[in-house]
A and B are shown apart, each in its own frame.
Chain A
Amino acid sequence: MHNQLLNSTRRKFNKFLILNLTSLFTLNFFLLRKDFPNSYPNKNQKLKWILSKNDL
Chain B
Amino acid sequence: MILKDNEILKKNFQIVICGSGPAGISLALELEKKKIECLIVEAGDEFYSEKAQSRYVGEVSGNFPEDLSVLRLSQFGGTTGHWGGTCRTLDNYDFQNWPIKKTEIDPFLDQSCKILNITKSFREKNINKNLKIIEFQESEVRFYEKYFEHIKRSKFINLCLNCIIFNIKMSGDTVTEIFLKSTKDISIKAKFLVLACGGIENSRLLLWFRENNKEISKNLPIGNYWMEHPFKKIGTGVGNFNLIRKNFKNNFEKFENFRNWGNFTVSISPTKKLIDEKNILNSGVFLTLHDRDNDNLKNNIKDLLCFAPNLSNKIIKLFNKNLLCGITISSSWEQDAIFSNKISLSSSKDFVGIPHSKLKYEISKNTLRSAEEMVNQIGIYFINNDLGRIAKDQLIYNKESFVSEAGYHHIGGTRMGDNKNISVVDKNLKVHETNNLYVCGSSTFVSGGHANPTLSIIQFSLRLAKHLIERINYL
Interface residues of A (CB under 8 A from B): 40-52, 54-56
Question: Which residues of A have CB within 8 Å of B389?
Answer: 49-51, 55
Q: Which of A44, A50, A52, A54 contacts B303 (CB 8 A)?
A: A44
Question: Which residues of B have CB within 8 Å of A40?
Answer: 306
B304 within 8 A of A: yes
Interface pair A50/B376, CB less than 8 Å apart:
yes
Chain B nearest CB, measured from A40 CB (Å): 8
Within residues 336 to 389 of chain B, which ones have a CB less than 8 A from any CB in chain A?
375-376, 379-380, 382-383, 389
B70 within 8 A of A: no
- Bitwise, B378-414 to A at CB < 8 A (1) or not (0) is 0110110000011111100100000000000000000
Interface residues of B (CB under 8 A from A): 236, 299-300, 302-304, 306-311, 375-376, 379-380, 382-383, 389-394, 397
Interface pair B307/A51, CB less than 8 Å apart:
yes
Interface pair A42/B394, CB less than 8 Å apart:
no
Can you list the 9 inter-chain pairs with the closest CB atoms, starting with the nearest?
A50-B379, A55-B308, A47-B391, A44-B303, A46-B394, A49-B391, A48-B392, A48-B397, A52-B383
Q: Is the contact region of chain B dominated by helix, strand, or loop, or is it mixed? A: helix
Question: Which residues of A have CB within 8 Å of B380?
Answer: 50
Chain B nearest CB, measured from A54 CB (Å): 6
Interface pair B306/A43, CB less than 8 Å apart:
yes
Other A-B pairs, 8, CB within 8 Å; known A50-B390, A56-B307? A43-B306, A44-B303, A45-B394, A46-B393, A47-B391, A50-B391, A51-B383, A55-B311
User: Of all chain B residues, which has the CB nearest A55?
Assistant: B308
10 sample A-B contacts, Cβ–Cβ < 8 Å, listed by A number: A43-B302, A47-B236, A47-B393, A47-B394, A48-B394, A49-B303, A50-B382, A50-B390, A54-B310, A56-B307
Question: Which residues of B have CB within 8 Å of A56?
Answer: 307-310
Chain A nearest CB, measured from B390 CB (Å): 5
Interface pair A55/B310, CB less than 8 Å apart:
yes
User: Of all chain A residues, which has the CB nearest B384?
Assistant: A52
Considering the chains assembled together, what is the distance between the CA atoms of A52 and B393 in angstroms? 18
Question: Which residues of B have CB within 8 Å of A45?
Answer: 394
Considering the chains assembled together, what is the distance between the CA atoms of A51 and B394 in angstroms? 16
Considering the chains assembled together, what is the distance between the CA atoms of A40 and B383 in angstroms? 24
Q: Which of A41, A43, A50, A54 contacts B375 (CB 8 A)?
A: A50
Q: Which of B299, B311, B383, B393 contacts A50 (CB 8 A)?
A: B383
Considering the chains assembled together, what is the distance between the CA atoms of A41 and B306 in angstroms? 6
Interface pair B310/A47, CB less than 8 Å apart:
no
Interface pair B306/A42, CB less than 8 Å apart:
yes
With contacts A43-B302, A44-B299, A55-B389 taken as known, whether A49 is within 8 angstroms of B307 at the C-beta atoms is: yes
Considering the chains assembled together, what is the distance between the CA atoms of A35 and B375 in angstroms? 32
Interface pair A43/B303, CB less than 8 Å apart:
yes
Chain A nearest CB, measured from B385 CB (Å): 12
Considering the chains assembled together, what is the distance between the CA atoms of A55 and B379 in angstroms? 13
Interface pair A48/B306, CB less than 8 Å apart:
no
Chain B nearest CB, measured from A10 CB (Å): 48
Considering the chains assembled together, what is the distance between the CA atoms of A56 and B304 in angstroms? 10
Q: Which of A42, A43, A50, A54 contacts B392 (CB 8 A)?
A: A50
Chain A nearest CB, measured from B409 CB (Å): 28
Considering the chains assembled together, what is the distance between the CA atoms of A40 and B308 in angstroms? 12
